[in-house]
A and B are shown apart, each in its own frame.
Chain A
């Protein structure tokens, strides 16, 4: 029989570096879970993503056991990294603070396909591009579907 679910906890923690400090400590400790067991499993599973912010959804069962699913790093964080930005735009609709290439947008979109509600890579790229614009980033070059719709430079 399937275990009865008590609830879900959604965290974003650095890969390979989960420790009993907040938020892992208070979020899991308050539910009576063994925090150190979560840290051991999460850190082992995210050795390839050392230091990157990694979203994780933890299913907490009534018997105080748990499972978790690791998601891909948020597109906004990946965009900040590839654009090498120290901060976002003060007015993203008017002041542009950096740019990313469509190839970079495609790489991020590909990494996010499993988590995004998109069937085609072009749809995922448009979602990532929308996030980029909201952060004050422009796309340089021509998108794969042609210059007329998306080119900004």
Chain B
């Protein structure tokens, strides 16, 4: 996790935002009569700092700088989230919730700052689709694993070995932690992209990411899916469904089924 410097600037002028945008500021927060601009600490060199200060002084705007250490910003939500029951077969809960009876699978997720608790439609649909698939002894690839919830469910559905990768360091660490909490030992976790990770062939590929990443990954995922394998895609808004499914069909996949929930779609494909 990165350390940030925040500039609290006594102005909400759009011109100041525009002029700051040429520096490595990642984002801005607008309040009623001031703004806060955020820049990664390692990008705030002495030269950049002097230029920013010079610019703000020219506009006669007062400001203060603070260092913001990395922390789990999701802690408040995490401390009070409700368990999720997916199709009456799987519960996802935090370690402080009581175990629920009468469900097939009980998964504990302490999400911190990774994605995937089953609350979101995209994860829910993936888990629902996995229930209808045969995973026994299948090699599984969880592409963009987040909390690792899908990899953990795959393991509980008796899959073979699972490779789980994510580009975010927080997700990599969170998947390892959650796999340990759930006593799952057949997940190999890596902080990697599709391009940097080993090329292997899998029976099942799970990818809950976003439209652009999915569009760019079609050919690579085709190479990694076994001839009789199944690919599940999620993280797709309903307005992007045709674009994504056409891209995958052009890459050689066949459309099997489309799941819908809220504004989201989940697409099941085969070779």
A-chain residues with CB within 8 Å of residue B240 when the two chains form the complex: 44, 47
A13-B27, A40-B120 as given contacts; A22 in contact with B4, CB under 8 Å: yes
In the assembled complex, the Cα of A36 lies from the Cα of B28 at a distance in Å of 18
Residue in A31, A35, A40 whose CB lies within 8 Å of B235: A40
**A144 at interface (Cβ–Cβ under 8 A)?**
no
B-chain residues with CB within 8 Å of residue A28 when the two chains form the complex: 73
Residue in B19, B68, B117 whose CB lies within 8 Å of A135: B19
B177 to chain A, nearest CB (A): 16
Does the CB pair B212–A16 fall under 8 Å? yes
Majority-rule SS of B interface residues:
mixed
In the assembled complex, the Cα of A131 lies from the Cα of B17 at a distance in Å of 12
B-chain residues with CB within 8 Å of residue A126 when the two chains form the complex: none
Residue in B14, B146, B236 whose CB lies within 8 Å of A131: B14
B-chain residues with CB within 8 Å of residue A36 when the two chains form the complex: 74, 111, 113-117, 120, 146
**Closest Cβ neighbor of A44 among chain B residues:** B237
In the assembled complex, the Cα of A45 lies from the Cα of B75 at a distance in Å of 25
**Closest Cβ neighbor of A76 among chain B residues:** B18
A-chain residues with CB within 8 Å of residue B29 when the two chains form the complex: 9-12, 23, 27
Does the CB pair A76–B115 fall under 8 Å? no
Residue in A17, A43, A77 whose CB lies within 8 Å of B18: A77
A-chain residues with CB within 8 Å of residue B1 when the two chains form the complex: 21
Number of A-B contacts (CB under 8 A): 148
**A39 at interface (Cβ–Cβ under 8 A)?**
yes
Does the CB pair A74–B18 fall under 8 Å? yes
Does the CB pair B210–A43 fall under 8 Å? yes
B-chain residues with CB within 8 Å of residue A75 when the two chains form the complex: 14, 18
Q: Count how many chain A residues have C-beta atoms less than 8 Å from C-beta atoms of the other chain.
A: 52
A22-B6, A44-B237, A79-B18 as given contacts; A90 in contact with B76, CB under 8 Å: no
In the assembled complex, the Cα of A44 lies from the Cα of B120 at a distance in Å of 13
**B26 at interface (Cβ–Cβ under 8 A)?**
yes
Does the CB pair B77–A12 fall under 8 Å? no
**B105 at interface (Cβ–Cβ under 8 A)?**
no
A30-B76, A36-B115, A44-B211 as given contacts; A22 in contact with B27, CB under 8 Å: yes
B108 to chain A, nearest CB (A): 17
Interface 0/1 of B21-46, CB less than 8 Å to A: 11000111111000010100000000
B-chain residues with CB within 8 Å of residue A33 when the two chains form the complex: 77
Does the CB pair B17–A20 fall under 8 Å? no
**B242 at interface (Cβ–Cβ under 8 A)?**
no
Does the CB pair A29–B19 fall under 8 Å? no
Does the CB pair B22–A85 fall under 8 Å? yes
Does the CB pair B19–A88 fall under 8 Å? yes
**A26 at interface (Cβ–Cβ under 8 A)?**
yes
**A32 at interface (Cβ–Cβ under 8 A)?**
yes
**A80 at interface (Cβ–Cβ under 8 A)?**
yes
**B133 at interface (Cβ–Cβ under 8 A)?**
no
Residues of A within 8 A of B (CB): 9-14, 16-17, 19-37, 39-40, 43-45, 47, 50, 53, 55, 64, 74-77, 79-80, 85-88, 90-91, 131, 134-135
Residues of B within 8 A of A (CB): 1-2, 4, 6, 14-15, 17-19, 21-22, 26-31, 36, 38, 51, 54-55, 58, 68, 73-77, 80-81, 111, 113-117, 119-120, 122, 146, 168, 170, 210-212, 235-237, 240
A-B contacts, 15 of them at CB < 8 A, read A11-B29, A22-B68, A23-B36, A29-B77, A32-B80, A36-B115, A36-B117, A36-B146, A44-B240, A45-B237, A64-B77, A76-B18, A87-B19, A131-B18, A135-B18
